[in-house]
Amino acid sequence: MASMRDIKRRKSSIQGTQQITKAMKLVSTVKLQRARSNAERSKSYFNCMYDTVNSILKRVGHIEHKYLVPGQSQKKAVIVITSNRGLAGGYNSNVVKLITRHPDWKKEDLVIYPIGSKGHDAFVRNGYEVAECENSIVEAPAYVDAMALSKRLLQSFADGEIGEIYLAYTAFKNTVSHIPTLLRLLPISCEEPEEQAPKAEAIMNFEPEDVEALNLIVPKYITSLIYGALVESVASENGARMQAMDNATSNAEEMISDLSLKYNRARQGSITQELTEIIAGAEALG
């Protein structure tokens, strides 16, 4: 049996760790609340944006447009949003796994645009082609950052360097469920022409004409998707960290109670032994 001193030392070190994880949990709870209200506030913008782009696409679905067909290049650009800090459970590795374990994707065809140093490090380690991005964006996502990134990507798309653009992030459903998501940004998928039986709505007109409107709206659409993904990822990151720290705290609790039991048993044992020794000594004298 371990000595009393060893057990005591072990226990106090676990108690120290528990205090840290408890504090980290509280911090990420506060951050989560802020990030979540941010994500909720921006939601209406994206829903509106999505509806508008969809209605445009429904109208112009059959035209040849550069944003609706894949580019010449085989290369796929993937924006990967992770965090700069660890200790968030599977948050970062789940997003990275979306790409490394993708059944149809080959390493050589991908260019990774990592936002967040954890993702960046993981892709460099695995030997992917990585384009440098600003990691500090995830600390406080701003719309201008998303704008700069989408401009850069659309430029490479226009120059024919990349043929498709994807976005990998963690969607924030609620505090306990965060879903790693892979989304195709370009070419815009023209799916679900689900006929809403009798079309009550009047036909939307565009000024300027459809194609030109598409040219102007698509970059805004992509920017808003990137921004939305950033905001949601930040919320998910804090949610994931909160959960991970909560688990760590309760694990520490369990270990401490286990060690307390062992400590008491060891103390009892040493008292019994001492008593036996005293009695034995007294008998020997008598």
Partner 1 sequence: MAEKSFNLRIITPDRIFYEGEAEMVEFNTTEGQVGILPGHIPLTVIIKPGILNIHEAEGNKVAALHAGFAEILPEGVTILAEIIEWPEEINEERAEAAKERAEDRLRSRTPETDIARAETALQRAIARIQVLK
- With a CB cutoff of 8 Å and minimum separation 6, the contacts of 275 are none
Q: How would you classify residue 89: left for phi > 0, otherwise alpha for psi between -120 and 50, otherwise beta?
A: left
Name the helix (H) or strand (E) containing 281.
helix 210-285
| Interface map 66-105 toward partner 1 (x if CB under 8 A) | ----------------------------------------
Regarding 206 and contact with partner 1 (CB under 8 A), the answer is yes
DSSP state of 109: G
Shortest distance in whole angstroms from residue 69 CB to partner 1 = 23
Shortest distance in whole angstroms from residue 158 CB to partner 1 = 15
Place of tokens 């760590």: 248
Structure-token pair, residue 44: 């209406």
Place of tokens 């939307």: 204
Whether 94 and 171 have beta carbons less than 8 Å apart is answered as: no
Per CB under 8 A, the list member of 176, 197, 202, 285 interacting with partner 1 is 202
Per CB under 8 A, the list member of 4, 86, 143, 175 interacting with partner 1 is 143
Name the helix (H) or strand (E) containing 59.
helix 4-60
Regarding 63 and contact with partner 1 (CB under 8 A), the answer is no
- Count Cβ atoms below 10 Å from residue 265 Cβ, excluding itself: 13
Cβ distance to partner 1 smaller for residue 113 or 227: 227
Whether 112 and 131 have beta carbons less than 8 Å apart is answered as: yes
Q: What is the CA radius of gyration of the chain?
A: 28
Regarding 200 and contact with partner 1 (CB under 8 A), the answer is no
Interface of this chain with partner 1, residues 219 to 258, rule: CB under 8 A? 220, 223-224, 227
Regarding 49 and contact with partner 1 (CB under 8 A), the answer is yes
Regarding 203 and contact with partner 1 (CB under 8 A), the answer is yes
Among residues 254, 244, 197, 201, the alpha carbon closest in space to that of 20 is found at: 244
Per CB under 8 A, the list member of 42, 233, 236, 249 interacting with partner 1 is 42
Shortest distance in whole angstroms from residue 168 CB to partner 1 = 21
Q: How many residues bind to partner 1 according to rule CB under 8 A?
A: 26
Q: Summarize as ranges the residues that interact with partner 1 (CB under 8 A).
A: 38, 41-42, 44-45, 48-49, 52, 56, 143, 147, 201-208, 213, 216-217, 220, 223-224, 227
